[in-house]
Every structure is written in structure tokens, then in C-alpha cells.
Structure 1
Amino acid sequence: MSETSIRRNDDGGRYELSIDGEIAGYAEFRQRPGEIIVTHTQTLRAYKGQGVATRLTEWLLADARERGERVVPKCPFLVEYLETHHEFDDIIDRG
């Protein structure tokens, strides 16, 4: 079994998903008061096709909701994800 962890790295401006201690993917963001602007999601080549970006996106959105932040989706992956996952509409600013 692989050990998966996700963390918000405020200093690096990204959420990071690690598998067995190695970064498998990340979502970059910029922060403004009360919101985060998600600009890019990347899955590293060795982890493509394993649902890394989806797990990372779901965690990012849940974390933003818990923090009381709104999310501004600028990342194409996130925009596409939100087209079929309307449970997060309450925290999304499509701007």
C-alpha cells in the first residue's frame, strides 16, 4: 500500500500531493484576502493516470471551504472538473 499525503504549502504557493514521500502532483495558487486563485495543476509523469490531479483538486476545494475561502479557477483542469462537480459552486468565483 502506498502512503498518500496532501498539504498546503503557503510559502510555495501550492498544494502538494505526495506518494510515499515523493511529490506526485501539485496545484499552484496565488492568495488574496478571502480567496485563492488556482492557476495550474500538474501531475508528474510517473504518476499520470492514477487520479492524482482529481484527488488533489478535491482536497484543495474542501480545504478552501473549511478555511472560508473562495476559489477563483484559472487552471484548465480545475475549470473542467467544476463543470461536472457542482457541490463546490458555493465557493467558486468564476470572475
Structure 2
Amino acid sequence: MNDQNQQEVTIRDNPDKGRFDVLVEDTQAGFSMYKDFGEMQRIFYHTVVFDEFEGRGLAGTLTRTALSTSVQAGYRIVAVCPYVKKWLTTHHDFDDATDPVGREHLRALR
């Protein structure tokens, strides 16, 4: 896939680091951190796109791919990350795969 500047974008799961990475032309452009929890829940807790890559739609592309990949693997989404939480308010195709944030999720991130 390409970004708004028509540069090649790759998004890949990096389970050893607990994150999805977004790369532009093979250069790290950002990531979305997650922690697997309990019975097939995936807590997304921090999303970053580096300053030099902002304004290209990468955060939305990263979020959609990370959530889609997770749901396809059988995970339910728990959105602690403010960006992911807000993104979900306008992308209702994930409503049936999202669980509310509970104290147990926040404790798991400590």
C-alpha cells in the first residue's frame, strides 16, 4: 500500500516487542503498542507516528491494519490508547469486536 505521498507503506506485527510497526520505504515511521491479556483480548495502549511522517494518514492506516489483523486472529480489542479509542468512535465496523476498558486492563499495563 502507499501513503498520501505515494510512498510504499508496510505494516507488520512485531510480537517480540508487542507492537505493530509502520514503515515508509523501509524506514520506521511509527508503531502501535499492545499487550495480550486474558482470554484473547489485545489491549492497545500507545500509538505513535514520528513527526517527520505526520499528515500522511499513517496513524489511521496503522490502526485499521493492527485492529483488523488482531480481530482476524481471534482477539477482542481493548482500546486504552487515546488515538485508538477516538478512531473507533468513527469506525463502527469494529464495534462487535471491542470490549470496554476495565481496571484489570489498566493493572495489566503497570
TM class by shorter-chain length? Answer: over 0.9
- How far residue 59 of structure 1 moved from its aligned partner, in angstroms, is 0.2
- Of 20, 25, 29, which aligns to 1:20? 25
Tell whether 2:37 aligns with 1:2: no
Name the CA distance, whole Å, in 1 between partners of 2:57 and 2:20: 15
- How far residue 3 of structure 1 moved from its aligned partner, in angstroms, is 1.7
Larger radius of gyration: 2
Return 5+ residue gaps in structure 1 as ranges.
none
> Normalized against structure 2, the TM-score is what?
0.82
**Which portions of structure 1, spanning 4 or more consecutive aligned residues, are displaced by more than 4 angstroms?**
none
RMSD: 1.0
Query: Across the two proteins, how many residue pairs are aligned to each other?
Result: 95
- Of 47, 52, 55, which aligns to 1:46? 52
* Counterpart position of 2:36: 31
> Normalized against structure 1, the TM-score is what?
0.95
1:65 alignment partner, SS class: helix
Tell whether 2:60 aligns with 1:57: no
Percent identity between matched residues is 33
Return 5+ residue gaps in structure 2 as ranges.
1-5, 102-110
Name the CA distance, whole Å, in 1 between partners of 2:89 and 2:8: 30
Task: Give CA deviations for 1:43-66 in whole Å, capped at 9, x if unaligned.
Answer: 001101111100000001110111
